[in-house]
Amino acid sequence: MRLATQCIHVAQPAEPVTGAVVPPIFQTSTFEQESPGVHRGFDYSRTNNPTRKRLESVLASLEGVDHAAVFASGLAAENAVLQAYLRPGDCILIPPDVYGGTFRLLNRVFAPIGCLVETIDFADQAALARASAKSPRIIWLETPTNPRLLIYDVAAVSRIAHAHGALLVVDNTFATPVFQRPFSLGADIVVHSVTKYLAGHSDLIQGAVLAREGAVFEPIKFLQNACGAVPAPFDCWLTLRGIKTLELRVRRHAENALAIAETLARHPSVARVYYPGLAQHPGHAVAARQMTGFGGIVSLELRGEVAQVREFASTRKYFALAESLGGVKSLICHPASMTHASIPRDERLRIGLPDTLVRLSPGLEDAEDLLEDLLTGLDTIEEQRTRERETTSCR
């Protein structure tokens, strides 16, 4: 079964009693038992729930593995992986511009209990090999990264990770299984912020962990129940609904992103466009090899003053100024004051996240409308810059 068909058919047969084509929501906390301890596979919804189980089956099938566990958020999913595999004294390697919340989780929760969090430029294979020689427990990869869309070679990092006995975890949120299959490139564990493209409508928070090996998955499944950060059945049902159109949606998101990246790269107020689908993007060749599409996010470094950049982000007609990404409605974000504000400014600048960077998550609107909206804002910045230049030259 191919991916677009999996999205609609896996674990979603018609309901047997009434024939309802869409499986119902099992909005229940508990299940009646025939006799003490004898039940039909479900006893309590924190432990297992039929709607959640359907969603886990679909996600596992999309990533091409047998094991998935969904959580109440992407960070709860990440936390389960880290709690399962990182002990005081263990080392984890991360790339510099990993998602801000992941950075905070590692540095504010796991580092204080004695875990060693080391930031390495994964594009520098020699540096990665040197750091790996210290036997890290986990190598954590996000590709494309948030927000600069850097691309890392998953297969190359997986060879280094496995040569040193580390687990390779890949955050596949940005690419989605439509464009990237990390397990086929050597990942041991894949995590998702389901909140984004998988659910796809900016109406819920959810996360997922997937694993190929039962033995790798077991501690995560245990923590899902033991710690209890599970999503509600209704949210699982909404995600099942969202996933039915996943393939169509992410292709359209990517078409809109490419149109925006190509057009804005020529605008004088845009210093730099980050989009792996552009030939000039440093990760373009690797992305073309390991992905089947370049994703839906575009980041822009603007030439104006920070105040102008903030004004640009605040006044778009179709791009709501909001955290998050991957929904049908376009969003714009100023990472320095929003998603990545938890990273100290010096550190942010060091890893290449200037205050003039904006991240766009083009939705499914008409590309022409989105472009008009962005160009209106950029032209305003350009006019202000021209006036400033004229005033300076008259002095």
Ligand X SMILES: Cc1ncc(COP(=O)(O)O)c(C=O)c1O
- Binding region for ligand X (CB under 6 A): 73-75, 99, 101, 142, 146, 171, 173-174, 193, 195, 205, 207
Q: How far is CA 214 from the centre of its chain?
A: 24
Helix ranges, the chain (H): 3-9, 50-63, 74-85, 100-104, 125-132, 154-163, 176-179, 214-227, 233-243, 246-264, 284-290, 306-314, 345-350, 367-394
- CA dist 270 to 296, 299, 302, 359, Å? 19, 10, 5, 13
Angle at 69 between CA 293 and CA 26, to 5 degrees: 110
User: Shortest approach of ligand X to residue 70 CB, angstroms?
Assistant: 11
User: Shortest approach of ligand X to residue 367 CB, angstroms?
Assistant: 23
User: Shortest approach of ligand X to residue 382 CB, angstroms?
Assistant: 30
Active site residue 99: yes
Q: How far apart are CA 201 and CA 205, in angstroms?
A: 10
- CA dist 3 to 62, 105, 171, 174, 326, Å? 6, 33, 19, 17, 19
DSSP character at residue 300: E
User: Shortest approach of ligand X to residue 372 CB, angstroms?
Assistant: 27
Task: Give me 42's structure tokens.
Answer: 């479900």
Point out the residue whose Cβ comes nearest to ligand X: 74
Active-site option among 52, 54, 97, 99: 99
Nearer to ligand X, 105 or 166 (CB): 105
User: Shortest approach of ligand X to residue 88 CB, angstroms?
Assistant: 24
User: Shortest approach of ligand X to residue 277 CB, angstroms?
Assistant: 18
DSSP character at residue 23: P
User: Shortest approach of ligand X to residue 324 CB, angstroms?
Assistant: 6
Q: How far apart are CA 203 and CA 116, in angstroms?
A: 35
Active site residue 85: no
- Buried residues in 35-54 as b, exposed as e (16+ CB within 10 A): eeeeeeebeebbebbbbbbb
Question: What contacts 383, CB < 8 A, 6 or more positions away?
Answer: none
Angle at 221 between CA 68 and CA 86, to 5 degrees: 105
Active site residue 46: yes
Nearer to ligand X, 52 or 267 (CB): 52
Active site residue 212: no
Nearer to ligand X, 298 or 378 (CB): 298
Strand, helix or coil for residue 67: strand
364 residue type, one letter: L
Q: How far apart are CA 385 and CA 302, in angstroms?
A: 12
> Do 279 and 389 touch, CB atoms closer than 8 A?
no
Neighbour count for residue 20 (Cβ, 10 Å)? 10
Active-site option among 196, 221, 310, 316: 196
Which residue numbers are catalytic?
Answer: 46, 99, 171, 196
